[in-house]
Structures are given as C-alpha cells and as structure tokens.
Amino acid sequence: MLHIAIIGSGPAGYYTAEAVQKQWGENARVDIFDRLPVPYGLIRTGVAPDHQSIKGVSRRYEAVALSDTVRFLGNVTVGVDVSIAELEELYDAVVLATGAPNDKALDSPGEELGNVYGSAAFVGWYNGHPAFAALDPDLSGGDAVVIGNGNVALDVARILAKQPGEFVGSDIVGHALDLLAGSSLTRVTILGRRGPHQIAMTPKELGELAHLNRAAPRVDPKDFPPEADDVLLEPGQRKSVTHLRSFAAIPESFRADHPFEVAFDFFAAPRRLNGENGRVMSIEIERTRLDDAGRAVGTGEFYTIPASLVVACIGYQTSPIPGVPFDEAAGRFANDDGRILPGLYCVGWARRGPSGTIGTNRPDGFGVVEKIAEDVGQGGGKEGGEGFDALADTRGLKLVRFSDWQKIDEAEVKRAREGAPREKFVAVDEMIEVAGKA
C-alpha cells in the first residue's frame, strides 16, 4: 500500500488525488490536508462569487473526496500542527498543493497606506476567507483604482461596479454585499503598465463588462496599435482586443444610462500612492511605452489621478514552508517538473506560479504522479493515515473530516439569503462549532 499526503485541498490537490486513484486504484491511500476546516481552496475563496458555473467543478472533487481511498483532514496547518519532516516519515510521498495565497508586493511608495489592498486580501474579503473577512474596506470615496491587466483585476473591477441586484445567484458573503450596497464609488480605473495587445484578460471575462446594469467600460481609442496588427495576435487574445475596441466605440447615449465608469488606462505604471491622514487619496502614474522586448519603460511623463481605494491585482506568490527549498525570485517552491526531492513534490501554483486556468492543474496532477511512480515504484510501506491519526491524537488536533465539512456545507446552504446558493461561515471557530468539533 502506498500512502500519499497532499497539502492543500484546492484544484491542484484534488486533481492530484484523482491522478493517484487512476494510477494505483485500491493500492494507494491519500490524505488531503487543509489549514481551513473547509475544502476546495481557490474554488471557494478565489473564484468570483458571481461565477457560479466555474465553482461547479467542486462536484467533481467531491466525488474524489467521497471515495474510500481518499480522506480530507481539515483544520491542520502543516508547518505548525505537523512538520513536513513528520509527514515525510509517515507518507511515501508528500505533495504540496498549497497554491499562491500571498500578494506580490507593488514596491511603490505609499503601498502601506490605508485602503490599499492586494487582490488576495480583497478577493478573500468578498469571498469570505477567514483571514480577510474583517478587512472592511472603505467604499465611501468615489474613485477606485485597480492595478493590473489580468483576470483578477477584471473580477475586482466588476464586483465593485455591480449593484446588489446583480449578485442574485452568487455566493458573495453578506458582509461584502452590505458594504457594496452602500458604496459611493462611481468609477473604477484599471491601470495596465503595457497596452491593449499585452493584456492577460480572457475574452469571456472581458465581455462581461459590457453587460452590467449601471456601468460601462471606457477605452481610449488612441491606446490601440493599428487594427491591422490584431491579426498577429493568437485567436483568444484577438477576441479580447476586439472587446476592447468595442468598448472604445460605446456611444455616449449608452454611457448616459450607465454612469458608473470602468476606465482602462493603458501604458500607465503606478509610481507613488499619496495619502492624507494615513489613507490613500491619489496615485501618481508614469506614462510608459514598450521597448523592443515588449517591456514597459517609463517615458518621464507623470500625472496623478484620484484614488480613494486601491486594489493591486498584480499576481501572487506561494508561502514558504520551513525546510522546503524555495525559489524566492519566482515566488514558488524550487522544483524540477514537480519534484522538489524524491518523496517531496509540488503541483499547481505552488509548482509553476500563479498562471493558467483551473483545468491547467489536471495535467499537473498526472505529471507529478509519474514522478512519484518513478521514485517509489509500487513500493510504499510507510504508516500513512493511521500514523498521522495517532500523532494528531497526541497533539489534540481537532481534525475536520469530509463528513464534518458536509455539516458545514448543509448549514451554509440552509442559512443562504434568497436566491443565493449559500451564506458562508467566515470564522474558523464558527466552522468548527458547526462541524461539531468545538
């Protein structure tokens, strides 16, 4: 029997468990650990609450979780409750599927001002992640600035631009919905340090901006390269740019009915955040141009725009774990195609950084299982889950099993507001109590 520990119950973790099942069937046992008492990682607390169809993938993970060879062990922080070395003693392979939960630093003066957030924190706030539920951003000003031209920037801009009625059917948490309902924002500026051809936004997500109740996107036609250059783009990117061109052509009559503006400011690199009484008020921007390698370089032209709220959506990095080799520059574990060392592996964003879709994690899981097979063959022979349970007992850990999560799930569904799929619990203590583990 092969015993495998997977740390992290998001997409990368569950796809790896699925790959283990396909490779070894009944001959392998998998324990999936999570520091939260609830599973699914980014599906629960990263994917936008108004993108419920994407969240539907968790049903596939549930099927894996309910099989006899896989266990969920929530409320266990690896590196605190149990060390990697201890897990390596107990399991034939330890796979880190811990994602990239920390914001990359903006490295601009003023970043520490009040009402300036990274996207991990801000997205975590409206998605009810226990670490960020108390964020309480101030939405009483008029101008939000979102930094970055990826899909997370789009998510944040869209959530800020929506009216409460547009969240029907979403699982946005009550505290965020209440605050958004009282928001005074009238404009979100999305800053891109490069141009329309260099965006990292995908067409479907970009297209949504044209269908909001009170908001309209705005793009300055002067920012585009000649239209003939669009054919040089790969098809997905071309579609995205076509959306941007259509935003630039939105007639004023439509804007009159959609006074909330989502304005794209391209070739715009944030250089300094200015504040008053510790709170951000404006952002100084340097106009950029592309160099021959396609990088943004400053032109020396500066301007300042108002900013009562700033959300930097510029990418994430993995949390280091004591004793595990880490690639500081790349912000992820040092690894060779998923192998950190024989017996210790990583998958998903912890392996390759924060890129790709949820589905990109599936081949990752299968790839790492090949590496495990090379290293341990059909071998095995370690204690596995029984050994961990004994250790957890001696440490008094309150393990949350999948059946306990099902109680939390049921309670969340039961207390949902009308039209919502669930109302999440946002405090770990509350989750533990509902799970009957207090």
Q: Which residues of the chain form contacts with ligand NAP (CB under 6 A)?
A: 51, 106, 147-153, 155, 193-194, 198, 200, 202, 205, 269, 296, 313-315, 354-357
Minimal CB distance to ligand NAP: which residue? 150
Least distance in angstroms from the C-beta of 358 to ligand NAP: 8
Q: Which is nearer to ligand NAP, 51 or 437 (CB)?
A: 51
Closest CB to ligand NAP among residues 157, 400: 157
Q: Which is nearer to ligand NAP, 64 or 153 (CB)?
A: 153
Q: How far is the CB of 379 from ligand NAP (least distance, A)?
A: 36
Q: Which is nearer to ligand NAP, 297 or 334 (CB)?
A: 297
Going by C-alpha positions, the residue among 323, 355, 328, 329 that lies closest to residue 341 is 323
Task: Supply the Cα-derived Rg of the chain in whole angstroms.
Answer: 23
Cβ-based nearer residue to ligand NAP, 151 or 282: 151
Angle 256-259-263 (CA atoms, 0-180°, nearest 5)?
A: 115
Q: How far is the CB of 332 from ligand NAP (least distance, A)?
A: 13
Phi-psi region of 15 (alpha: psi -120 to 50; beta: other; left: phi over 0): alpha
> What CA–CA distances, in Å, run from 44 to 52, 62, 131, 316, 375?
10, 13, 13, 17, 33
**283 close to 304: Cβ distance less than 8 angstroms:** yes
**Beta carbon of residue 433, minimum distance to ligand NAP (angstroms, whole number):** 32
CA-to-CA dists, residue 166 to 15, 158, 181, 215, angstroms: 32, 10, 11, 11
Distance in angstroms (rounded) separating the CA atoms of residues 127 and 159:
11
- Minimal distance, residue 151 CB to ligand NAP, in Å: 3
Q: CB 48 → ligand NAP: shortest distance, Å?
A: 7
DSSP-derived 3-state class of residue 145:
strand
- List the structure tokens of 202: 């995908």
181 residue type, one letter:
A
- For ligand NAP, give the closer residue by CB, 27 or 299: 299
